[in-house]
Amino acid sequence: MKTVLMVAEKPSLAQALAKILSNSSMHSRKGSNSACSIHEYTGKFLGEPGVRFKMTSVCGHVMGLDFMGKYNSWDRVDPVELFRAPALKKESSPNLHMPKFLEREARGCDYLVLWLDCDKEGENICFEVIDAVKPAMNRPRGNEQIIFRAHFSAITDTDIKRAMNNLGEPNKNESDSVDARQELDLRIGCAFTRYQTKFFQGKYGDLDSTLISYGPCQTPTLGFCVERHDKIQSFKPEAFWVLQVPVTHPSGKTLHLEWDRVRLFDKEVAHMFLNIVKGNDQAKIVNVTKKEKSKSRPIALNTVEMLRTASSGLGMGPQYTMQMAERLYTQGYISYPRTETTHYPENFDLRGTLKQQVGSSDWGNAVKELLAQGLEKPRKGADVGDHPPITPMRAATESELGHDPWRLYDYITRHFIATISPDCRYLQTTAHFEIGKEKFTCTGKTVIHPGYTAVMHWQAIVGDENLPPFEIGEVCIVDEVRLVEKQTSPPDYLTESELITLMEKHGIGTDASIPVHINNICERNYVNVIGGRKLKPTTLGIVLVHGYQKIDPDLVLPTMRSAVEKQLNLIATGKAHGDAVLQHGLDIFERKFKYFVHNILGMDELFEVSFSPLAASGKPLSRCGKCRRYMKFVQAKPSRLHCSSCDETYSLPQNGSIKLYKELKCPLDDFELVLWTTGSRGKSYPLCPYCYNNAPFRDMRKGMGCNECTHPTCIHSLGQNGVSGCVECDNGALVLDQTSAPKWRMACNKCNVVINFGEHIHKISVAEDSCEECDSAILDFAFNKAKSPLEDGATEHSGCIFCDPVLKPLVGIKYAAMKLARAGRGRGVRGRGGGRGRGRGRGRGRGKPKDKMAQLAAYFV
């Protein structure tokens, strides 16, 4: 029996595809990495019946580009080396073991069908999957094609089965363009970011940003926001004058006339016209024009327009909008949400798609009327050749989708109905008046047919019901003549919608990456989102852009990235070689980087004016081990300690609180310890500021606290407080938290697993002995006499918390409430049921604790 392996981009998508292709008759099982499932069924492939199908998925990119070994160190590598440093593909999510999982499922398979998203990133993931599975697949017979690509735009029965019957091949050129973009962005971004982060964070204490990043797309995006800010700051208001003339029509209705001159900037001239008009008490109608006009229906919806409207009309940020759209797509409610096309293909079933909306309580009547009267042909848009416009694929209700996804679905559906509805028609009536020799007008609109605005009601034209009928020669009484002084006003801050328009116009980013770039400048604290989804630059964002403009304007102008995007598109269309484009781009930016470094003082002058030096920042917290003077704790991101006497800065763990730890000192360097904590529901551990930045032992690295320190005798170290290997991650150790009393707990020194011991425990300490069953350290407990779980009121007990029947009920596994800027992808608890016998020593796989201590003792001697 032949076997076909099929791979989708997400687990939920794999399940939906398998359900459609198998007609809901598949059998599912969990994959070896726990994140992906395999759905199996039997069917026909390439005309051959009885073929076994295996549908599974990846979780986004299988591999990611990164630098080799030492080049990931910020301290040991000059950033300019990153332009030529060796880079290699690494697993994007090492914990998922995705290449191994794919290879395992590919064993014995004869064919591979790729169901990745049909965009450039999807093509790139296709070749990552091919690299992982091809060595394990059965060899082809002769020149037989064994790798196929499915092209689809919606998760519907019709679209998926059509794709299965019309399989193609993956596009290597598009994949190569993504590889080139990734490498360019990695090398350029890392070089600039490392250099300017180290330079400025080492001098200033109130930057309030963990990373001072540069990005070839991110920085021009910020540049647009700062350019608007500069226009606002440099704007000088100018006074102007307007004539306001209310008149009374013979019908008794009051009309407000518009002056043909609109406004004047010369006060004396304006007063002259005021006197001319004041000399007359009648306004004569000299002409009346009536003209039928139309408001065109919208063109079909693409990603950029969806993001613009969601921001301006729904109040949703671009990143959040894309998340909602992707969810609607994977659930089969809309077509693929990443598209630049605004033109429906000739064979698109517009009528069939519209019929699905007949039952809606919101727009069902409009749909019935449209089906009865006939559909209008959609306006001609741009056909980029990627995916059809974003379209609703099946009916939905708010209770099905939830509030925010429904609001987005509501807009997408109304937009689709509008594209095949008639234009809005209205009659515009304009009456021309004369007062003396000055001319005025009064204009009104009357809706003839609402057309598409019946469903897109926010674009509806409001008719002027109070407009009376006008006759040439009629005379109206002038009620009052006023000369009103006004001032020109500055432009407002850019809205997200306006920024998206600018990015599209200048070729910054793609429809998929535009939301990411906008989100980045917000997360880096370069801009703040204020009311109306407007983007107001922070002091840091303004100073950075002005600094780039001072040194090298090209670094912040959109023209550089726009040119790079055009060259990357040449790779995608097969008109240019990836290596040539990559080297050309790197050569240019390497020269620009060297020039930037040489002239960094120009930017530093701007930072000096806007930010406080480290010595003047923060509050005294702990003593320096070198000079014994107090170091200042700088709380602004990134939090750190600075000794102004030694002129040394010590980085600290982020996303938590820092406080002095009982004025205790590190036995190695005499620095006072500090305590990092995320609160009562999180983790805590002490650390030495010097050891945290300068690893004291060969088996340690920078950024380790006392809970990872291998000092053999220090009472705060892993050696004295380590209990067992972590029940969740592969390389962590559970360490007793001595700061957690009276609510004792231990926590993993790598992941966020926390094990609580409950209350009513006076003291817990780690004994020298180990459990014979699981090799965990024995713990000595001293219980509260009134609440002791021990028989006969005993208060002291020693045992293994995982094996001892008295202590096992006390253990409660939780996850620390971490103060993270972005939530990462979590994993389910594997539990400790299969944990025994996996080497629970203090530090997994290192043998029993006493052996480890002996090794350390020998090492120090």
Instruction: Give the residue numbers annotated as catalytic, written as ranges.
Output: 336
761: Cα separation from own chain's centroid: 44
Q: Among 297, 298, 296, 293, which residue's Cα sits nearest to residue 447?
A: 293
Q: How far is CA 458 from CA 84, 333, 421, in A?
A: 54, 23, 15
Q: Among 29, 58, 55, 57, which residue's Cα sits nearest to residue 43?
A: 55
Q: Among 293, 315, 519, which residue's Cα sits nearest to residue 426?
A: 293
Peptide bond into 638 cis (omega under 30): yes
H-helix or E-strand containing 193? helix 172-201
Phi, psi of 381 (to 5 degrees): -115, -155
Task: Map residue 111 onto helix, strand or coil.
Answer: strand
Amino acid occupying residue 419? T
Amino acid occupying residue 471? E
Residue 711 tokens, joined: 């000092």
CB 39 within 8 A of CB 22: yes
CB 222 within 8 A of CB 544: yes
Q: Among 740, 702, 703, which residue's Cα sits nearest to residue 721?
A: 740
CB 307 within 8 A of CB 314: no
Contacts of 591 (CB under 8 A, 6+ apart): none
CB 490 within 8 A of CB 501: no
Compute the distance between CA of residue 389 and CA of residue 410 in angstroms, rounded to an integer.
16
Q: How far is CA 109 from CA 21, 104, 224, in A?
A: 18, 10, 51
Measured at the alpha carbon of residue 551, what is the angle toward residues 549 and 552, in degrees to the nearest 5? 70
Amino acid occupying residue 534? K
Q: Give the number of other CB atoms < 10 A from CB of residue 389.
A: 29
Residue 822 tokens, joined: 């972005």
Phi, psi of 495 (to 5 degrees): -85, 165
Tell whether the torsion through CA atoms of 248, 250, 255 and 257 is positive or negative: negative
Phi, psi of 512 (to 5 degrees): -80, -35
Torsion of CA 836, 842, 843, 848, to 10 degrees: -70
Residue with tokens 């729904």: 314
Q: How far is CA 227 from CA 219, 505, 532, in A?
A: 12, 16, 19
Q: Give the number of other CB atoms < 10 A from CB of residue 544.
A: 29
CB 299 within 8 A of CB 419: yes
Residue with tokens 């004569």: 284
Per DSSP bridges, beta strands 424-435 and 282-295 are antiparallel
Task: Map residue 190 onto helix, strand or coil.
Answer: helix
Percent helix / strand / coil, the chain, rounded to 5 = 35, 25, 40
Residue 608 tokens, joined: 């000096």
Q: Which residues of 217-239 are buried (b: 16+ CB within 10 A; e: fewer)?
A: bbbbbbbbbbbbbeeeeeeeeee
Per DSSP bridges, beta strands 796-799 and 3-8 are unpaired
Residue 741 tokens, joined: 């009393």
Q: How far is CA 184 from CA 63, 187, 188, 552, 586, in A?
A: 16, 5, 6, 19, 7
